[in-house]
Structure 1
Amino acid sequence: MTSYVALLRAVNVGGTGKLPMDELRAMCADAGFADARTYIASGNVVFSADGDEDAVRSVLEERLAAYAGAPVGVLVRDAQQMRAVLEANPFPDEPGNRTAAVFLAEPPAVDALEEARHVDDERFELGTREIYVHYPSGMGRSRLRIPAAERGTARNLNTVAQLVAMLDELDRGA
């Protein structure tokens, strides 16, 4: 079995996409995923599963659509990929709560950042299948819009670090 994290898009954010985390863990168990654990209520779940990233995503998207009555975006990364996201952070000296990785399904186009709008003091860089953004004034105050990021889901680097730690525990059998 491979350890994965699933990052759900637009779940329990701003009063939309209500999904109790115990329901998410139950969906994972029903899908045959082992040791499902959630982190905060915004749709982060780690688990072990047979199958590749696409198969895992597909199964989870099906179950979530049945539950929600509408499609729910799911991005899946294995433990090695999540660790690489954390290690590739281009803003390592900045606070983790002011730096985010926007997870994408596909690698961003090399010119993906050229269409950014409402840029104030934010800095951003491309990753492998992520866009990193540092928000010096805070994410909540930012009006930044990056069209290439609109179908992704963002997690601050503190959350990414916690998810990596949870994946490490899962791999150790803790």
Structure 2
Amino acid sequence: MFILLKEIITVMVGLITDFLSFQLDAYFYIWFLILFISSLAATLVQRSEGTITYSTAECVGINVLVVVLYLVIGTILARYFASFEDQQIVAEDKIMLYKISFMLTSAVIIVDIILDRLKRVRKFSYSLEFLAGSAVCFLLFQLSNQTDWIGTKLSLSYIVMVAIAAGVYTMAMKFLLEYENHKEK
């Protein structure tokens, strides 16, 4: 447990340091803003509908933390899954790890926003949340492989592992939100 906590803190400090040093490419900052704004907009819509009782300032803070936490976990997973196979992903290549992490975070946020809108009409099971997160992530990484955007070809098994992680992300978010709602009642 201590090793995992140390890894999370190390990656978080590295990510924040890399962002604040402005040594990353501009598209990372734009991508972060897009993720944050879309997540915040979805949260503010939920707030206006009455499903969330947080203030606007709390919504901003929560969404910044959520996006940063997703990116940190995504970076850790990208590095961890690369150790399973002979991937051309080097643990020290932060840019490649950040690209994978941003793609993973994008898939999770997209699925979360879409399913949240669809939940107004119908309630979804955990398995559907898992499948939706996994499918969107799988498609994003397959598209990335076709365009060689990450800088290396990812193996199918690596993409499947990352897609499963995205499915677990979305399923965990549903569980946490439902747990919070039950706790408030």
Q: Same fold (TM over 0.5)?
A: no
Q: TM-score, normalised by structure 2?
A: 0.30
- The one of the two structures with greater contact order (alpha-carbon pairs below 8 A, sep at least 6) is 1
Larger Rg: 2
Q: TM-score, normalised by structure 1?
A: 0.32
Structure having the larger proportion of residues in helix: 2
